Amino acid sequence: MTAISAALALACADSSGADGAGESSESEASSGDGDGDGDGDGDGDGDGDPGDGDGDGDTWGYWIPGKMLPTARDPNARGLLDRRGLIHAHSVHSHDACDDEPKDDQGNYDAPCDRDFREGLCRSRHDFVFLTDHTSSFTSVEYPETLLYRVGFGDVLVEEGGDPIANWAGCDTFDFGNSGDAPFVSALLQAGSEAATMPIGLPAHVAATEAERGAMLGDSSPAGIMALADAGAVTLVAHTEEWSVQELTELPLDGFEMYNIHANLFLNIVAVGTLLSKIGQPEAIPHPELVLLALLSEDPAYIDTWASVLASGERKLTTMGSDCHRNTFPQELADGQRIDSYERIMKWFSNHLLVEPDLNANTPNAFGPAQLHEALDAGRLFGVFELLGMPEGFDYRGEQNGDVFEIGGEPSLADGALTLRVEAPTVIARDPATEVPEIHLRLLKAEVDGWQEVGFVAGPEGAVPALELDVAEPGAYRAEVRILPKHLLGWLGEDYEQLAEQSFVWIYANPIYVRE
């Protein structure tokens, strides 16, 4: 039993109806499509095709919760690819995945759970996954199995010097489910481990023997972290709440998490118990793909720590941790999937990397491990809660003397006047019949005691002016997009309609570091 499960046993001790799937309701709020026809496609024609409303299913159709699109295949206006994926994910090679039984006594992994992972990956249309399996299992598994290489799924290995370093995950034999009919994409899988720290993107094991691997991965000293970096890892830590500001500032880490779903659930454990008690009343609770919305909040242990570390002048990458295990909430929702299915959690939020395309890459994806690592090193990352809608049009940049500084850039005030600019996103393919959400743009500067708001604009989606700030002081400045998700009202259920008027973080961007 996980710690969350144990806590919930106490929170739900007096609740009922939390042990099984509820029955479907015929009401619009719980029909699963928001258009009232109950066919689950969101186009209002009642045919079940995810189309444009004319019954022939010839386009992707309007967005509804759970529908996913791949990222744009072409570079943006400044030549960068927006690539979306997971940083912190557990597979059958973590001892506590798959309801704590990822392998049997003979060492055979749980094939259905393994398939669930891949099905979720394909349906969420991610471009990359940095696996972070726990040391107790990871150290005993060799490459390419660490990369979840599956010939039957159509996988293609990436090799360096004849050795496998990454895996293009295929989607052969998988169907779209309720994720829409947009084409699948191959995600690039790289190995790593959640251990004393969380090194990601390891091209090979850090040592020859299992014992040596465990010793290196268990070393969180400065020398140990540098050894992992020398082995090719991007050196992160998970669960920011477990680390002090001093440790995160002084250790030679590349970064830490700005959000982790497990920590967020602990923060709202009573709300989790309340939601679980209502599973037998599907008309009362949000659409299955929106249940996290009832539990989502900002965690000061993450946000304030992030500010304090950067206020010291340090440069640190921050990431969004899905921390998916498929081991916490086995209860089924109205769509027939367990609450914590890999698919559901993989869809809820992600990390977006702005990647320099590899024009010589022998792959239609136009990037590889080196390009992902370069983007991480450069800090070109923003996190998105896609359960609120898939965004398009978001941009955060610095402008100085005709030059553009991307997220993670380091302009100097000594080089001239600097303007930071944030452009508001819209929800891709939002049904115009839904209410228009309200969008808030914020610019925040890192201070020792938290984030100071230095810029703000708001307005209805599609009519939000760009937020601009002429910078007068050095510091770390991040952009944030918040949303009042009024467009979700038809999917929130009778007991959670108030969430449509609540402000939620939609996008967390890493900072631009303004130097003197």
* Segment 308-314 mean pLDDT: 98
- Is the pLDDT confidence value at 24 over 50? no
Decide if 202 contacts 140 (C-beta within 8 A).
no
- Is the pLDDT confidence value at 392 over 90? yes
Per-residue pLDDT tens over the stretch 120-168: 999 999 999 999 999 999 999 999 999 999 999 999 999 999 999 999 9
Distance between CA atoms of residues 482 and 453, nearest Å? 13
Decide if 330 contacts 99 (C-beta within 8 A).
yes
CA angle 118, 122, 123 (to 5 degrees): 115
- Is the pLDDT confidence value at 9 over 90? no
Residues forming beta bridges with residue 505, ordered by sequence position: 482
pLDDT for the residue numbered 17: 34
Q: How many percent of the chain have pLDDT more than 90?
A: 75
pLDDT for the residue numbered 330: 84
All residues at 6 or more sequence positions from 482 whose CB lies less than 8 Å from its CB, including other chains = 439, 440, 442, 503, 504, 505, 506
- Is the pLDDT confidence value at 1 over 70? no
All residues at 6 or more sequence positions from 17 whose CB lies less than 8 Å from its CB, including other chains = 277, 278, 279, 280, 281
Tokens of 382: 């923003």
pLDDT for the residue numbered 59: 56
- Order of strands, sheet of 317-321, starting from the edge strand that comes earlier in the sequence: 198-200, 234-237, 255-260, 317-321
**pLDDT tier, 275 (very low <50, low <70, confident <90, very high otherwise):** confident
Half-sphere exposure of 82 (CA within 13 A, CB side): 22
pLDDT for the residue numbered 307: 99
Least confident span in 46-55, 274-283, 370-379, 501-510: 46-55
pLDDT for the residue numbered 2: 52
Which ranges in 403-499 belong to alpha helices (H)? none
Residues forming beta bridges with residue 193, ordered by sequence position: 133
Number of Cβ within 10 Å of residue 104's Cβ equals 9
Residues forming beta bridges with residue 188, ordered by sequence position: 128, 168
Per-residue pLDDT tens over the stretch 362-374: 666 789 999 999 9
pLDDT for the residue numbered 206: 98
All residues at 6 or more sequence positions from 257 whose CB lies less than 8 Å from its CB, including other chains = 88, 236, 237, 238, 239, 240, 302, 318, 319, 320, 321
Residues forming beta bridges with residue 404, ordered by sequence position: 399
- Supply the pTM of this predicted model: 0.89
Per-residue pLDDT tens over the stretch 43-69: 433 333 434 433 334 357 999 999 999
Distance between CA atoms of residues 486 and 489, nearest Å? 6
Half-sphere exposure of 357 (CA within 13 A, CB side): 18
pLDDT for the residue numbered 81: 97
- Is the pLDDT confidence value at 434 over 50? yes
Decide if 391 contacts 425 (C-beta within 8 A).
yes
CA angle 132, 138, 140 (to 5 degrees): 170
**Tokens 């918040």, residue located:** 482
Distance between CA atoms of residues 455 and 447, nearest Å? 15
CA-based nearest residue to 133, from 207, 202, 227, 230: 202
Per-residue pLDDT tens over the stretch 87-96: 999 999 898 8
**pLDDT tier, 331 (very low <50, low <70, confident <90, very high otherwise):** confident
CA-based nearest residue to 121, from 83, 72, 166, 86: 86
* Segment 313-336 mean pLDDT: 90
CA-based nearest residue to 430, from 120, 71, 34, 39: 34
Give whole-number Cα distances, 365 to 127, 146, 190, 390, in Å. Answer: 8, 22, 15, 20
Torsion of CA 254, 258, 261, 263, to 10 degrees: 90
DSSP 46-110: SS---SSSSSS--S--S--TT---PPPSS--TTS-EEEEEEEEE--TTSTTHHHH-SB-TTS-B-
pLDDT for the residue numbered 103: 87
Least confident span in 80-89, 258-267, 472-481: 258-267
Give the DSSP H/E element, type plus range, for residue 230: helix 222-230
- Report how far Cα 439 is from the mean position of its chain's Cα atoms: 20
- Is the pLDDT confidence value at 35 over 50? no
β-pair type (350-355, 317-321): unpaired
Least confident span in 184-193, 263-272, 452-461, 464-473: 263-272
